[in-house]
Amino acid sequence: MSLQHMLIGAHIVETTHNYARADDPFIQTGFAAADAGTPTTDNPIHLQDDEFWATILSDPQKAWRQQFIFNNVTVSEWVARVPGLGWSKEAVRLQNNVEHVEKMIGGYAYDPPTKSAHVMSGVGTLRLSPGDDGSALVTLSAFGDASLGVPALMSAEVFDKVRQDGSLEGRVVSGKARWIPMSQTWAANFPNVGKLPRGYLRLDKPDDITIHGSGRPTQIFPFTVMQYESGASELFDYVYAGARTDDGQHRKHVEAFFDKYKKDVGGNATYLFNGDMVDELWAAKFTSPAELRRTDAGAQSQLSLLEARVRERQLGKSDIEQLLKRMGETLAESDAKVISDEIGIPYANWFVSGTTLADVCNQFVDAARLHNRLEALVQALAIRKPGFF
């Protein structure tokens, strides 16, 4: 097993955590019960994708309940798997560590390091079914990229107004909305997502939205996790494809890519997640986040069972031995201190002075396993140490 498979395993655990939370806005609050709260400012802030996320990420607490004005932005039914991730400092660092290439549009796959950088910096979009109350989670984007845009929760009334003829994909709108916090957070164990504020623009008044037109394209990146066999081993991989919604055949192209990818891998390959919960693009074991959260007769969630399987197959004993060897070759004691603090394990809690670098690495990995931070350590190494994997 290679270290690359270990890094992919960390991606899969992070992805499963956050896929299982994708429909949280519908669970946390319906529009009847939601409280938008008191606005924190009387000065509206205009919305552009980059400027919006710069405002949010620079001072997350101050940004809550601020009002944002958006002009001529594109609406998409596809939402980023972790909104804002593509604008984080970790994502910027990752993208700077690989030769700059655009995220995939069309039917081909990247080499593992480039693909890993894209996965950790936010590529991947989902299309969720409307909530029981008719509300819908969408993306607003001035840049036309659903993985980089702003999540917005529309009331049933706003949703009906914007979609009009049955589809809101590509609508061009202007309006105003407030940035509302969620009580549920992204998976806190992971350095690339754990500190991202989780919220959405709340669009509950049809009169606050003006429709200008339709048909503007958006880049989308449907994704899933694949389980497959390689020789005697069972492995997992992250699979995504890009498309432009102005291509009338984009769904057909995406379907063809995922079908071919699975056939090329062979080995009883199975897709685990459904990326489009409105109109299925490929067959999957889990049809929705709720299905992944489902518990079995032993009161264990399917999420917990899947994570345990990934850890066993791609983050096992032999993988850890390779990780320790590589850490000993590339890290200094000062690196261990910085990374330990980054993943939430106080350095002083495990470090014993006067030991060799090999001992430091062993202590660090043992502490990461004890605190359930092994995947976080793997991702932090990928971010901090270009070429480690």
**Tens digits of residue pLDDT in 264-283:** 988 799 999 999 999 999 99
Whether pLDDT at 101 is above 50: no
Q: Are 181 and 151 in contact (CB under 8 A)?
A: no
**Separation CA 241–CA 223 (nearest Å):** 7
First vs last C-alpha separation in the chain: 12
pLDDT tens-digit readout, 238-252: 999 999 998 889 999
pLDDT of residue 38: 54
For the residues 321-348, what does the mean pLDDT come to? 92
What pLDDT is recorded for position 117? 76
- The yes-or-no verdict on residue 30 having pLDDT over 50 is no
Contact (Cβ atoms closer than 8 angstroms) between residue 268 and residue 262? no
Q: Which residue has the higher pLDDT, 158 or 232?
A: 158
Q: Residue 91's pLDDT is what? A: 81
Rounded to whole angstroms, how far apart are CA atoms 114 and 169?
A: 29
- Over the stretch 39-96, which tens digit does the pLDDT of each residue have? 555 567 777 999 999 999 999 999 999 999 999 999 999 999 999 999 998 887 776 6
Residue pair 133/32 in contact (Cβ under 8 Å)? The answer is yes
**Mean pLDDT, the chain, integer:** 87
Could you give the angle at the alpha carbon of 13 between the alpha carbons of 281 and 188, nearest 5°?
Answer: 115
Q: What is the mean pLDDT of residues 215-241?
A: 91
